[in-house]
Every structure is written in structure tokens, then in C-alpha cells.
């Protein structure tokens, strides 16, 4: 758009320059054929030359301002100088009357309307006076009416174009500002989404692994003196969790799918998760209803992470003895239910005294929402908890 505007301005400037020199040559030819004579001839020729040279130099040394910007002091000085030369030339040679048109354009183009319009009026009055001076015979009304009419039309059109251009520039500026604000908002939203993704990944992998290791090592420390074999078993399990957490961390750094999904289907990964979480005091079972078709990696990863987060809450907060993972596959939806027989809680109530509502549930909700699904939590104090994630699956996604 800017290139088109520049091209239009260049064409308009070329037309004005051509009109100026055409009028200048015509005025000079008229002077030579009709008005020359006497001592003033040399002065008039010199003024014509000075007028032409000053006009050309102004184009290079004092160019007009760009649209919408105020004129420079150099350009204003040039405009005053070339106008003064033209007035002197007009006093000696009325033939230079119509050279006022390029000056009218220069004034209207460079000056604000409150100055350009009076200037156009002054130039028009000088043109009328000059026309009347050289008139032969009865006064022709066109000599008095035509110049103001032409100047009025030119001034009105030019002022209208200037105001329209100003409105267009304001609209363009608003669009550019809106686009910049939108880009900044999108960047902030992207940063926030990435932070949420990173926090969820860290919570579901490293934080849960470290929590399990801590509990196992504490258990090993408690029985170290009385039951060395049990302590060694706790230590070996903590080492195994460390290895899995390290694998998850490496895959996380490379932005890969969860390690449990590497070479395995989602049901197999959930079954392995249930077997791994089963231990002293907690039995976790897995059940598959339906047959899952090919699923996008993002949906498989989201459901596995939700299962990991839900079981971490069961292990750390529920005091449950049994938990069940149920994966239900329908034509247009896949859902995961994680149920336990623990102490339960009030989902709408405040955190328990001295506790805080952790990051697990918000992270699970974010994962479900990012996959286009929903996550619901049903729980009653003393009656256990059920976490359900439902994600729609389209035919296009299954085919992928």
C-alpha cells in the first residue's frame, strides 16, 4: 500500500513539473511575441531565468514534505522565495500570470489548510489583477470570475483529498496498532500456554517421581535396622522410579511422547501404569471397554498424563486401598475414569485445614481442554473420588 502511494505521488509530482515548465515556456513565448520592449526586457528575462532555476533547485534542495508531515523550514523558505520572484515577474510581465498554478499546488500541498487557503486567495487576486491590467477593450467578466472559480474548485478538491488522506492514515495507524497489540496478545497467550504445558509436564513426571522416591526412601530408612530386605526392596523401587523419571526428563527435553507410550499402545501404557502403581496398601486395576482405533499422539499423551496425575493424587492424598483405571472407547469419543475408595473430599469446598489444593487437578483440566475435551471430578467425603476425562475423536483424527 505504501509503495502504491509513493508511486501515485511521483506521478502527480511529474505532472505538476511538466505543467509548470509548459506554462513557463508559454508565458515566456507570449512575452517575447507581445510584451517585450523597453528597458524592462532584460529584467524580465533574468526573472524568468531566476524563476525557473529557483523552481528546479527547490525540487532537489527543499523537497516537499511527505503526506501528513509538516513542511520543513527550508521548503517554506523556498516557497516564499519562488512566490516573491513570481510576484516581481508578474509586475513586469503579466504574461507570467498562469505560472501561479504550480505555486498554488505547492502551497496547498505543503501548508496546512488554514494557511494554504488564504495563500490561494492571494494568488488568485494577483492573477485577476494581472488579467484586468492587460485586458483590451470592454472588461470580460470571465477574467474576474474564472480564476477564482478555478482556484476555489482546486482548493476544495485538494483540501478534501488532504482530509481524506488524513482519515485513511488514521485508519491505517489504528490497523497497525491493533495488529501489533494482537501479535503481543498472541505472544503472551503462547507464553502462558507453554508455561502451563511445562508446569503440567514437570508435575506429571519429575515431581511425581521425586515424591514417590521420597516416600520409598523414607520407608526404607524406617525399616533399615529391622528389615534389611524390605529396605533394599524400597531402595530398588526408588532406583527404578529414578530411571523412569530420567527417561521422562530426556524425552521431555526432546519434546517427545511419554516414555510409556514409546512402542506401546495407550491401553498397554495404562495397564503398565496400573501395575506399577500397585503396591503395599494400594491395588490398582485396569479395564478396557471397546476397541480403540489409531489415536493422535496428543490425545494418547493427554490421557496417560491425566491417569498419572489422578493416581498420584490417590497415592498422596486419598488414603485409598483400591483404585481402578477404565478406558472406554466409543465411535466419537474416548474417555478415561480413575476411581478410588479413599477418603474423598468436597470439590466445591476449600482445601482441608493446613492443606492446599495442589497443581494436579488444574493440570489435568488444562490437558483435557487443550485436547478439546472436558474433565469432571465427582467426590464426597468418605465415599471416594472419580476423575473422568472425555475427549472427542473425529473420523479425521482416527484416520490420521
* Angle subtended at Cα 130 by Cα 126 and Cα 133, rounded to the nearest 5 degrees: 140
Dihedral angle of Cα 150, 156, 158, 159, to the nearest 10 degrees:
150
C-alpha cell at 258: 511419554
> 39 falls in which pLDDT band (50, 70, 90)?
low
Among residues 307, 342, 349, which one has the least CA distance to residue 326? 307
C-alpha cell at 237: 523401587
Class of 264-400 in CATH: alpha beta
Distance from C-alpha of 147 to C-alpha of 142, rounded to nearest angstrom:
8
The reply to whether the predicted model has a pTM over 0.75 is: no
Question: Do 279 and 322 touch, CB atoms closer than 8 A?
Answer: no
Q: Return contacts of 68-72, CB within 8 angstroms, 24+ apart.
A: 68/165, 68/166, 68/169, 70/112, 71/110, 71/111
pLDDT at res. 21 = 81
pLDDT at res. 17 = 77
Q: What average pLDDT does the chain have? A: 79
Domain with CATH 3.30.565.10 in the chain: 264-400
Which stretches does DSSP call E strand in 314-383? 322-329, 333-340, 374-379
371 CB-side CA count, 13 A:
30
Number of neighbours of residue 115 by Cβ within 10 angstroms:
14
C-alpha cell at 335: 474417555
Report phi then psi at 388, rounded to 5: -125, 125
Residue-wise pLDDT tens digits, 296-343: 888 888 898 899 889 888 888 888 999 999 999 988 899 999 999 999
Mean pLDDT confidence for 349-358: 52
Residue-wise pLDDT tens digits, 156-196: 777 777 778 778 878 888 888 888 888 778 777 766 776 77
Query: Which residues does residue 375 pair with via DSSP β-bridges, in sequence order?
Result: 389
- Report the Cα 353 to chain-centroid distance in Å: 45
Amino acid at each position: 500500500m505504501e509503495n502504491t502511494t509513493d508511486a501515485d505521488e511521483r506521478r502527480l509530482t511529474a505532472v505538476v513539473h511538466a505543467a509548470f515548465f509548459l506554462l513557463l515556456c508559454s508565458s515566456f513565448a507570449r512575452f517575447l511575441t507581445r510584451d517585450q520592449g523597453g528597458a524592462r526586457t532584460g529584467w524580465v528575462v533574468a526573472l524568468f531565468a531566476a524563476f525557473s532555476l529557483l523552481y528546479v533547485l527547490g525540487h532537489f534542495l527543499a523537497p516537499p514534505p511527505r503526506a501528513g508531515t509538516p513542511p520543513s523550514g527550508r521548503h517554506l523558505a523556498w516557497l516564499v522565495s519562488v512566490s516573491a520572484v513570481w510576484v516581481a515577474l508578474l509586475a513586469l510581465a503579466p504574461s507570467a500570470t498562469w505560472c501561479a498554478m504550480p505555486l498554488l499546488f505547492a502551497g496547498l500541498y505543503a501548508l496546512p489548510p488554514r494557511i494554504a487557503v488564504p495563500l490561494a486567495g492571494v494568488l488568485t487576486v494577483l492573477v485577476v489583477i494581472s488579467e484586468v491590467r492587460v485586458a483590451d477593450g470592454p472588461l470580460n467578466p470571465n477574467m474576474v470570475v474564472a480564476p477564482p472559480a478555478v482556484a476555489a474548485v482546486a482548493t476544495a478538491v485538494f483540501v478534501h483529498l488532504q482530509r481524506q488522506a488524513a482519515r485513511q492514515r488514521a485508519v491505517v495507524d489504528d490497523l497497525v496498532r491493533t495488529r501489533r497489540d494482537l501479535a503481543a496478545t498472541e505472544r503472551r497467550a503462547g507464553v502462558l500456554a507453554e508455561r502451563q504445558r511445562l508446569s503440567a509436564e514437570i508435575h506429571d513426571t519429575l515431581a511425581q517421581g521425586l515424591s514417590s522416591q521420597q516416600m520409598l526412601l523414607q520407608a526404607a530408612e524406617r525399616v533399615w535396622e529391622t528389615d534389611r530386605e524390605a529396605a533394599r526392596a524400597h531402595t530398588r523401587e526408588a532406583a527404578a522410579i529414578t530411571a523412569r523419571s530420567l527417561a521422562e526428563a530426556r524425552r521431555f527435553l526432546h519434546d517427545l511422547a511419554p516414555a510409556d507410550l514409546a512402542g506401546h499402545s495407550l491401553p498397554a501404557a495404562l495397564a503398565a501404569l496400573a501395575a506399577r502403581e500397585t503396591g503395599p496398601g494400594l491395588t490398582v486395576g485396569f479395564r478396557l471397554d471397546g476397541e480403540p482405533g489409531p489415536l493422535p499422539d496428543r490425545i494418547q499423551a493427554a490421557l496417560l498424563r491425566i491417569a498419572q496425575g489422578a493416581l498420584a493424587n490417590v497415592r498422596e492424598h486419598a488414603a485409598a486401598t483400591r483404585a481402578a483405571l477404565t478406558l472406554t472407547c466409543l465411535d466419537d469419543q474416548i474417555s478415561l475414569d480413575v476411581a478410588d475408595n479413599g477418603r474423598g473430599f468436597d470439590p466445591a469446598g476449600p482445601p482441608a485445614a493446613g492443606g492446599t489444593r495442589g497443581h494436579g487437578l488444574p493440570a489435568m483440566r488444562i490437558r483435557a481442554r487443550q485436547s478439546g475435551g472436558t474433565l469432571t471430578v465427582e467426590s464426597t467425603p468418605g465415599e471416594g473420588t472419580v476423575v473422568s476425562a472425555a475427549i472427542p475423536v473425529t473420523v479425521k483424527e482416527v484416520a490420521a
